[in-house]
């Protein structure tokens, strides 16, 4: 069912070739691999032990790949390659690209669209538990920058609920509950966690979001990542989005750390572009010009890219950073 919905939503056919980069146990490669197998399309599997941005770009060019799905970190690594490498490859066959598994910053999206001249960019929100939930389509990428789109084909209306499981009005932040035809049955031998994840036929994986007046969903952050500073909610993804726009910054993660006065305050862990240098004050000043004071990081630390903890699919492990710095 999810393969049929994927083919219909994204317009795939038997002449398409997909490059699967993420582990085959990951929902992304599993679902897209299943889709292309059912259609009789071609799957190219990148079996390197770690992500090699130049090698992936060359595979896209040499195998005339028409579709791939990557996480934002993968795209950031490709965009950071020397211009000579990027301009020396023919990427014109790539007709569809997907950003998934983590929110993509607006500057990253603009870079992707510039790198792939014929690539129509999609952004998908979903989970292993619920399958695909929302889709932001190519024609919406610039007019709805920052949104993950609206409900996926065949799914029910999304509900955004407060702590009492009551729906919140449009524009307010609530926990996202989706209703899909392929939602999971529950967590293995964990009935308590399963009960927390379900509200009737709706499922949540702990993501916080808001809905605008046109029905578009805007992810705010994981419920577990939220920082409460002086009674105010600070969502790390918002702070990360601002810091990520700094021209010297390659990647960033924001976590909450204890503070004697405010309870918690934001701490930014920053990876700079190769050859760049910056100071904590420089990054903090950049934030203070663009964010409310309580959202600005009290501390900024710089780390090498190799020292930023990530999952096998490239997502930053905020919990590991909290263990490291708290």
Q: How confident is the model at residue 25, as a pLDDT? A: 83
CATH assignment, 2-151: 3.40.50.12780
233-260 confidence digits (pLDDT tens): 888 888 998 999 999 999 999 999 988 8
Query: If DSSP codes are grouped into helix, strand and coil, which group holds residue 63?
Result: coil
What is the pLDDT of the chain when averaged over all its residues? Answer: 91
- As annotated, the residues of the chain forming the CATH 3.40.50.12780 domain(s) are 2-151
Worst-scoring range by mean pLDDT, 27-41, 70-84, 102-116, 267-281?
Answer: 102-116
Question: pLDDT > 70: what percent of the chain?
Answer: 100
- As annotated, the residues of the chain forming the CATH 2.30.38.10 domain(s) are 159-222
79-108 confidence digits (pLDDT tens): 999 999 999 999 999 999 999 877 677 788
Query: If DSSP codes are grouped into helix, strand and coil, which group holds residue 309?
Result: coil
- As annotated, the residues of the chain forming the CATH 3.30.300.30 domain(s) are 226-325
Per-residue confidence band for 46, with pLDDT thresholds at 50, 70 and 90: very high
Rounded CA-CA distance 289/302 in Å is 20
Rounded CA-CA distance 70/102 in Å is 10
The whole-number average pLDDT for the span 157-167 is: 94
Q: What are phi and psi of 220, to 5 degrees?
A: -105, -55
Tell me which residue has tokens 């919140």: 168
Per-residue confidence band for 71, with pLDDT thresholds at 50, 70 and 90: confident
CATH assignment, 226-325: 3.30.300.30
Per-residue confidence band for 224, with pLDDT thresholds at 50, 70 and 90: confident
Q: Which residues pair with 313 in a beta bridge?
A: none
The whole-number average pLDDT for the span 161-165 is: 93
Give the residue from 220, 207, 205, 225 showing the smallest Cα distance to 322. Answer: 225
pTM exceeds 0.75, yes or no: yes
The whole-number average pLDDT for the span 170-192 is: 93
Which residues are CB-neighbours of 44 under 8 A, at least 6 positions away?
Answer: 17, 18, 19, 20, 59, 63, 65
Per-residue confidence band for 295, with pLDDT thresholds at 50, 70 and 90: very high
Check whether 261 has a pLDDT greater than 90. no
* DSSP code of residue 183: -
The whole-number average pLDDT for the span 271-291 is: 95
CATH class of 159-222: mainly beta
Check whether 54 has a pLDDT greater than 90. yes
Rounded CA-CA distance 2/17 in Å is 18
The whole-number average pLDDT for the span 2-11 is: 91
What are the distances in angstroms from CA 184 to CA 128, 130, 132?
Answer: 8, 6, 12
């Amino acid at each position: 069912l999810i393969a049929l919905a994927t083919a219909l939503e994204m317009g795939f056919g038997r002449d398409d070739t997909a490059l699967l980069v993420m582990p085959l146990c990951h929902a992304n490669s599993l679902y897209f691999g299943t889709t292309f197998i059912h259609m009789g399309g071609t799957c190219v599997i990148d079996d390197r032990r770690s992500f090699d941005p130049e090698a992936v770009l060359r595979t896209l060019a040499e195998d005339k790949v028409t579709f791939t799905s990557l996480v934002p970190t993968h795209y950031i690594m490709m965009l950071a390659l020397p211009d000579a490498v990027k301009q020396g490859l023919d990427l014109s066959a790539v007709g569809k690209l997907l950003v998934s598994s983590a929110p993509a910053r607006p500057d990253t999206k603009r870079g992707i669209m510039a790198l792939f001249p014929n690539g129509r960019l999609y952004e998908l929100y979903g989970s292993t538990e619920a399958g695909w939930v929302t889709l932001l389509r190519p024609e919406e990428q610039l007019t709805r920058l920052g949104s993950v789109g609206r409900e996926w084909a065949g799914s029910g209306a999304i509900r955004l609920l407060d702590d009492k499981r009551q729906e919140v009005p449009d524009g307010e932040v609530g926990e996202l509950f989706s209703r899909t035809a392929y939602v999971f049955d529950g967590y293995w031998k964990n009935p308590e966690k399963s009960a927390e994840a379900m509200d009737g036929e709706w499922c949540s994986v702990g993501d916080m979001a808001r809905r605008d007046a046109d029905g578009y969903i805007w992810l705010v952050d994981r419920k577990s990542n939220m920082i409460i500073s002086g009674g105010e909610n600070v969502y790390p993804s918002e702070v990360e989005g601002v810091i990520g726009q700094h021209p010297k910054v390659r990647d960033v993660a924001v976590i909450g750390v204890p503070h004697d006065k405010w309870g918690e305050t934001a701490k930014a862990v920053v990876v700079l572009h190769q050859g760049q240098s910056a100071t904590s004050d420089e990054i903090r000043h950049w934030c203070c010009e663009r964010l409310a004071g309580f959202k600005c990081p009290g501390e900024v630390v710089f780390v090498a890219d190799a020292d930023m903890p990530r999952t096998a699919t490239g997502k930053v492990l905020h919990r590991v950073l909290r263990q490291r710095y708290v």
